[in-house]
Amino acid sequence: MALDDESFGLLQQSVQRFIQERLVPAENILEEEDDVPADIVADMKEMGLFGLSIPEEYGGIGLAMVQECEVAYDLGHTALAFRSVFGTNVGIGSQGILMDGTDAQKADYLPRIASGELIISFALTEPNAGSDAASLQTRATLDGDHYVINGSKRYITNAPRAGAFTLMARTGGEGAGGISAFIVPADTPGITLGKPDKKMGQRGTKTCDVMLDNVRVPAANIIGGVAGQGFKTAMKVLDRGRHARR
């Protein structure tokens, strides 16, 4: 999965122009409003930036990892908040579905993620489970053909913008083997968001807590359709993301 050199060169030139002509001049607006202007987000969608890493068969551009890293490097020439708008769609939000999702899950979610119609966030970190992700406490209890999820997530990037979450919860016993990954629509009853975090920098980026109170999610929303694989999925997603952030 990669663009040919000529096509990638044209894309990169387009991104570089966009950065210099649209993003850099908007940095003051971003700082003042603590948000990315809607017209810039619309331009990002039009350029396909929400689908940089999504295969062409699902409506994305289908960059190789090294190409994605080059684009990320270019975007480092402007405020990080611009990249954060589509960053979870390109990276941690979508990759669990792309790597381990069922064919039906990929067909349902990836085209909307690639177009920017759906913002998807990655919900792993908890108040008492950060670097030690295997100790997470959010619990998903099977109830018929649904799981009922209770718990909370912390510092979730793009949560205030998200239409769905790739969310890890415990369906089994302690440790990594008891964790499953779910696709959870953000409008599911029982989901509430905390106030957006106030940070020392990176104005325009959005993070907040996500609380889940008896949130009912179809069992079919387990990524890959198999319980107990969520920790592996999460680690693969995070390993991939480290390349694009070096």
What CATH number has the domain bearing residue 92? Answer: 1.10.540.10
Structurally, the chain folds into a number of domains equal to 2
104 in the same domain as 124: no
Answer yes or no: is pLDDT of 126 > 80.
yes
Answer yes or no: is pLDDT of 1 > 90.
no
Question: pLDDT over 90 for what percent of the chain?
Answer: 90
- Categorize the per-residue pLDDT at 131 as very low, low, confident or very high, splitting at 50, 70 and 90: confident
202 in the same domain as 157: yes
Return the pLDDT at 246. 44
Domain stops at, among 97, 115, 133:
115
147 in the same domain as 68: no
- Helices and strands in the chain, H and E counts: 8, 7
SS3 call for 198: coil
- pLDDT tens digit string along 62-86? 999 999 999 999 999 999 999 999 9
133 in the same domain as 79: no
- Categorize the per-residue pLDDT at 243 as very low, low, confident or very high, splitting at 50, 70 and 90: low
Domain extent, residue 210, equals: 120-234
SS3 call for 219: helix
125 in the same domain as 91: no
Domain stops at, among 81, 115, 149:
115
Terminal-to-terminal C-alpha distance of the chain = 21
More confident residue, 241 or 121: 121
How far, CA to CA in Å, does 71 sit from each of 14, 53, 77, 105, 126?
11, 11, 10, 27, 30
Q: Evaluate whether residue 203 is within a structural domain.
A: yes
Q: Evaluate whether residue 79 is within a structural domain.
A: yes
127 in the same domain as 26: no
Q: Evaluate whether residue 39 is within a structural domain.
A: yes
Strands (E), the chain: 120-123, 139-143, 146-157, 164-170, 179-185, 191-193, 207-218
126 in the same domain as 81: no
Q: Evaluate whether residue 128 is within a structural domain.
A: yes
Q: Which of 42, 75, 27 is nearest to 201 (CA)?
A: 27
When pLDDT is averaged across residues 33-42 and rounded to a whole number, the result is: 97
Which residue type does 114 have?
Answer: A
- pLDDT tens digit string along 133-146? 889 999 999 999 99
- pLDDT tens digit string along 174-205? 999 999 999 999 999 999 999 999 888 889 99
104 in the same domain as 163: no
Say if residues 109 and 183 touch (Cβ distance below 8 Å): yes
When pLDDT is averaged across residues 48-65 and rounded to a whole number, the result is: 97
At 118, give phi and psi (nearest 5°): -115, 120
Answer yes or no: is pLDDT of 92 > 60.
yes
183 in the same domain as 92: no
CATH number for the domain harbouring residue 133: 2.40.110.10
> From CA 155, how far away is CA 107, in angstroms rounded?
29
99 in the same domain as 199: no
At 234, give phi and psi (nearest 5°): -60, -40
How far, CA to CA in Å, does 58 sit from each of 16, 98, 106, 143?
25, 10, 8, 32
CA 148 to chain centre: 22
Domain stops at, among 115, 130, 145:
115
Answer yes or no: is pLDDT of 244 > 60.
no
Say if residues 51 and 86 touch (Cβ distance below 8 Å): no
135 in the same domain as 111: no
Say if residues 172 and 178 touch (Cβ distance below 8 Å): yes
